[in-house]
Structure formats: C-alpha cells, structure tokens
Chain A
C-alpha cells in the first residue's frame, strides 16, 4: 500500500482516473486485511467454515466497508491517520457479519421477558444459605423487579431483558427491534439509571449492591 498523507488520500478518492483507482485498490486491500484480522481473531466462532470461506466473508465485509468509507468521507476530521480511520469500518463490518452468523438461529420472540411471572432467585450458589445475605439479595432482586415492571417503558423492558438478563448481543437486539446499536445503548443506559436511582432511594449504595452479591468471605 502506497504511503499517502491524509490530504493525498482525500484528494485521490475524490478524483477520477488512475489516481482514484489506485487509492481505491489500496483502500480495499486495507479493509480486507482489517476484516480478515478480526475474523481470524474470532476463528473459534467460525470453526464450521473452511479458510477460503472465511476469506470470502472478509472480502464481503471489505466491500461493504468500502461503500461506508466513501459515503462518510466528508466526516473524516484528520484526528488520526486516514488508514486508521478507514480500518474501523473494515473491523466494524466484519464484527457485524460475525454477530449475524452467531445469532442467526435465535428468535428473540421465544426468549421469556418474564417479568409477570413469579420471581425465582438462584439458590444454589455461594451465600444463599446465609439468611441475612439471602434476605439482602432478595430485597435487591424484588426492588429490581418492581422498577422493571412499573417504571420501565416497554422498549426499556425488552432491551434490558434481552441484553442484560438473557445475554443476547446488543447489535442483534438492535437489528431485531429496528433500532441502531447506539439507540439501544441509550435505552439500556436509561434502564440502568432508573434501577440505580430506585435502589438508592431504598437506601442501597453501589458498594452495598455489589457486596451483597459478591461471594461471601
């Protein structure tokens, strides 16, 4: 890949002819490398694919990333080198590709949201046999249920349940809910803030919440 200044990259990508096609070839190579690097780091999640299939996934991610880079070219602010800025699109597309594959067989509709069911708390792990500790944990858990059932919006309840309770990937939840990952992050942040405020109103500090569920000494 030819070394260029940020200005040279922008000029080449905005030009026409050989200068543009050289820049696009170099950019595509960079995006392919960064996408492949990501997939290789997560090769344990792609064990069912042959090496050439993984390269094909990287190639597809690189082509999508190339479109994104060209679309967003005017947002490049020069705070980093252009290749660094562009490579985040390569890795981002590869990440998105991997998540879709990992979660393709999971239906969110079949995951219980479950806040209307009687609560059960785990009884088989450290500390639950200690009455005072168990009572404190129960209090915290019931407080959480109360907030989720009575103070969350429907979207907050869904996002909170899927991501923080059932451990579904946030990008996948965002896609299924028809939202951006950033919007879903804001939903879960708002949900967490409501919970923390409710627990603090009940006289529980952050430290007390964490120590109640730490393994007893």
Chain B
C-alpha cells in the first residue's frame, strides 16, 4: 500500500476502534429516520435515546448528512425560505410581464 495520508489513517483506525459487534445498516436507519428526526427537531437527545442509530451515524457520513439535514429542515419549517424564493420568483415574473405589455 503506497503512501496513506496520516489523517485518513487516523480516521480508518478510529473507524476500526469504534466498531461494535452488531451495527444497524443504512436500510434499517432509513426506516427509523423520520421518528428520529421528529425527536431531534423537538430538542430531544436522539443519540442517547437511539444509541444503535448513533453508532451508525458515526460510521456513515451519508446517513449522518441526511439525518442532520432533515432535522434542520423540520426545525426551520415554519420559517422556510422556500416561500420567499417562490415569492421573489413570482414578483419577477409579474414585473417582466408588465414590461412586455404594450404601452398606451
């Protein structure tokens, strides 16, 4: 094996050292994700409540990314900027339509 970046080697060893005999896989976590997201978005400590899920999230960057995004999405939901984006897009379209109307 040719040169391995020391930081990556450390992450590899961290991954090995934190291995548990039984670990949840991605499909099982996906099944659980909506329930976990609602717990997290309501301020509960999901990692303590669902320790097997917490272990999987340590080892799986994609599941972690998805979980963190969904939690943030539902924490922010009442103030979602999507409405602002659509409103701005709608205003722009009205402005452009008015500009295209014949004068007089």
Contact = CB atoms under 8 A, between A and B. Distances in A.
A18 B30 CA distance: 31
A169 B10 contact: no
A141 B9 CA distance: 9
A186 B25 contact: yes
A36 interface: yes
Interface stretch (A9-17, A19-27, A91-99): A91-99
Interface residues of A, number: 56
Contacts of A140: 13
A2 B61 CA distance: 34
B50 interface: no
A170 B13 CA distance: 17
Contact of A120 (B3, B11, B23, B80): B3
A88 B13 contact: no
Nearest to A38: B69
Interface in A93-123: 95, 99, 112, 114-115, 117, 119-122
B2 interface: yes
Interface in B1-60: 1-6, 8-19, 21, 23, 25-28, 30, 33-35, 37-38, 56, 59-60
A85 B32 CA distance: 9
Contact of A87 (B3, B17, B70): B70
A32 to B, nearest CB: 8
A84 interface: yes
Interface of A: 32-34, 36-38, 41, 79-81, 84-85, 87-88, 91-92, 95, 99, 112, 114-115, 117, 119-122, 124-125, 140-141, 145, 164-167, 169-171, 180-183, 185-186, 188-189, 192-193, 195-196, 199, 206-207, 209-210, 213
B57 to A, nearest CB: 12
A169 B60 CA distance: 10
Contact of B5 (A122, A171, A188): A122
Contacts of A79: 34-35
Contact of B62 (A41, A169, A189, A207): A169
A38 to B, nearest CB: 5
B6 A181 contact: no
Nearest to A206: B17
A181 B34 CA distance: 19
A105 B1 CA distance: 23
A217 B98 CA distance: 70
A183 B61 CA distance: 15
